[in-house]
A and B are shown apart, each in its own frame.
Chain A
């Protein structure tokens, strides 16, 4: 009997692998105490995509990322990583499954050296050769970090710290990278550099979910985007569509042309 059934399920399995998004949120509700921060967020990130989540301060962008990586637990809904339910996993297990979260405010370890910070990114990798290979890659992407590798992370400039935070997440070789406000507090020229690197990384195959207040920059690198307002997705579309949308222009791209 099994031979007859097997091929069909195999095809289904194969099909679902192809169509399976890297990350999917289904009707996620998250609370901070009594505050209903996410009111049913659903979104999808496909392999190789850069998806951006834009919205005002307090709309729930950071909470969405924190919910994905397990730092806060949703009360309802599901978070799926490559189809696997990670809704109730603790953050270190979510990280082990391939979610690289670059948190808001960079959160580098101030008293670890740059090199040690990067090594923390590869904490779950035991093979020294593999760690060396990844380090080499990160130093190629951010030569500045190579020059500063013996310095405590806390002594870096804001831009360098952002590079370190991204580099640290790259050390995880994540299936998806969650980036929370990489442009925050950086000079415009550095913002350009960081977004250039993100674009480059994506071209090399890194899937990115990008949270930004700087909607203009975000829509330049993203393929698709979601607009979030007070815990709800109010608009979604390709980056080009969103950039042309009058509502988005008025609310988030104000002052352009």
Chain B
């Protein structure tokens, strides 16, 4: 009986969330692709390179989809940091974007320190990146714990606006501290992740012909790596939260702190661990993000941070599954907007306008469904 029970729990905690993630990824891709294709058919005309709009969309769709998923996973991992902290403290940790940024910097400094020759084979690089990710996780996790101790815990019983302001203060403090350190040590406040040809080389995953059009699906090794690491992290988190004693305590504290304490739960410690886990996820994402974009600066956390916050709100803040869903939907939507906006509008709106989508979603969700797609927590707490 107990063996069976354990299997059921394992299924619920690991397999089911993975299925859910796959379904959501597929669903958001299918829906948004369909809408894009429909729009392309409606507004079909010649675009640059002698292609029609439909041809252009069909040829680029797989690549855009992969980009969308990659960004989506990254947003999901950052969003988890916001949502977990919100779950236990009803605090929006606006310093989370800087926790992410510090992870990216720790990662880049470590990789620069290693000073690897660029012609590394993939296997060795994977190991290095894994190590860098772990280091970024440790740094960001500990930083998050420190921030909670210094900037939030003393304000635990203050009005809710006060820790929010404190969070923004921490945010500025971290940006400028990193900037000052990098400026002093390095004479410039940005850093470039070392680039390795083995990671950037596109691997052709599939090549098919759709209606006479050649469609190839290519992925750089680093993108595959980002997706795999994200999936491992998201599954690991699901397992931790849904199937372990610690995860149960985190959920109990999120639902009712006083009663959790009556069960013998050290609430302060659980809050600390929540920051550690959320921060570590943020740090890992920082490293992966840095590897993806290459160049990072102390302000690199702001935009991904606020978008991941949007993702958390979209999924229902405080809701862990919601954060993953929100991240995926937002990532995919943004990738499509970035890729097709300028072609669809005849160049009137460039891809830089893609950010409008994220923030329009934030506003719409806050007006019409403030509890988010999967959330009911806010309503219950109010």
The interface of chain A, by Cβ under 8 A from chain B, is 69-71, 90-92, 95-96, 101, 103, 107-112, 116, 119-121, 123-124, 132, 168, 172
Q: DSSP class of A's interface residues: helix, strand, loop or mixed?
A: loop
Given A103-B259, A107-B259, A92-B252 contact (CB < 8 Å):
no
Q: Are B2 and A120 in contact (CB under 8 A)?
A: no
| A70 partner residues in chain B, CB cutoff 8 A | 261
Q: How far is the CB of B265 from chain A (nearest CB, A)?
A: 6
Q: How far is the CA of A111 from the CA of B2 in the complex (A)?
A: 23
| B249 partner residues in chain A, CB cutoff 8 A | 120, 123
Given A109-B252, A119-B248, A95-B261 contact (CB < 8 Å):
yes
Which of A71, A111, A119 contacts B261 (CB under 8 A)? A71
Is B263 engaged at the interface, CB distance under 8 Å to the other chain? Answer: yes
| B251 partner residues in chain A, CB cutoff 8 A | 109, 111-112, 116
Is B154 engaged at the interface, CB distance under 8 Å to the other chain? Answer: no
Is B231 engaged at the interface, CB distance under 8 Å to the other chain? Answer: no
Q: Are B252 and A103 in contact (CB under 8 A)?
A: no
Q: DSSP class of B's interface residues: helix, strand, loop or mixed?
A: helix
Contacts between chains A and B (CB distance < 8 A), count: 67
Is B157 engaged at the interface, CB distance under 8 Å to the other chain? Answer: no
The number of chain B residues touching the other chain, given as a range, is 10 to 19
Smallest CB-CB separation from A95: which chain B residue? Answer: B264
Q: Are A110 and B248 in contact (CB under 8 A)?
A: no
Is B266 engaged at the interface, CB distance under 8 Å to the other chain? Answer: yes
Which of B256, B264, B266 contacts A109 (CB under 8 A)? B256
Given A110-B380, A112-B251, A112-B252, A123-B258 contact (CB < 8 Å):
no
Is B211 engaged at the interface, CB distance under 8 Å to the other chain? Answer: no
Smallest CB-CB separation from A121: which chain B residue? Answer: B263
The interface of chain B, by Cβ under 8 A from chain A, is 2, 245, 248-249, 251-252, 255-256, 258-267, 380
Q: How far is the CB of B83 from chain A (nearest CB, A)?
A: 14
Q: How far is the CA of A109 from the CA of B332 in the complex (A)?
A: 35
Which of B255, B262, B380 contacts A91 (CB under 8 A)? B262
Given A71-B262, A101-B262, A110-B380, A92-B248 contact (CB < 8 Å):
no
Q: How far is the CB of A225 from chain B (nearest CB, A)?
A: 24
Pairs A-B, 3 closest by C-beta atoms? A95-B264, A91-B261, A124-B264
| A103 partner residues in chain B, CB cutoff 8 A | 258-259, 262
Q: How far is the CA of A34 from the CA of B74 in the complex (A)?
A: 50
Q: Are B258 and A120 in contact (CB under 8 A)?
A: no
- The CB with the most chain A CB atoms within 10 A, among B259, B261, B262, is that of B262
Q: How far is the CA of A103 from the CA of B258 in the complex (A)?
A: 10
Q: Are B259 and A123 in contact (CB under 8 A)?
A: no
Given A112-B248, A116-B248, A132-B2, A123-B256 contact (CB < 8 Å):
no
Q: How far is the CA of A176 from the CA of B55 in the complex (A)?
A: 75
Smallest CB-CB separation from B6: which chain A residue? Answer: A128
Task: Given contact pairs A95-B261, A95-B262, enumerate 12 new A-B contacts (beta carbons under 8 Å).
Answer: A71-B261, A90-B261, A91-B258, A92-B267, A95-B264, A103-B262, A108-B259, A112-B252, A116-B251, A120-B263, A121-B263, A123-B245
Q: Are A96 and B258 in contact (CB under 8 A)?
A: no
Q: How far is the CA of A110 from the CA of B262 in the complex (A)?
A: 16
| A109 partner residues in chain B, CB cutoff 8 A | 251-252, 255-256, 259-260
Q: How far is the CB of A136 from chain B (nearest CB, A)?
A: 11
Q: Are B255 and A111 in contact (CB under 8 A)?
A: yes
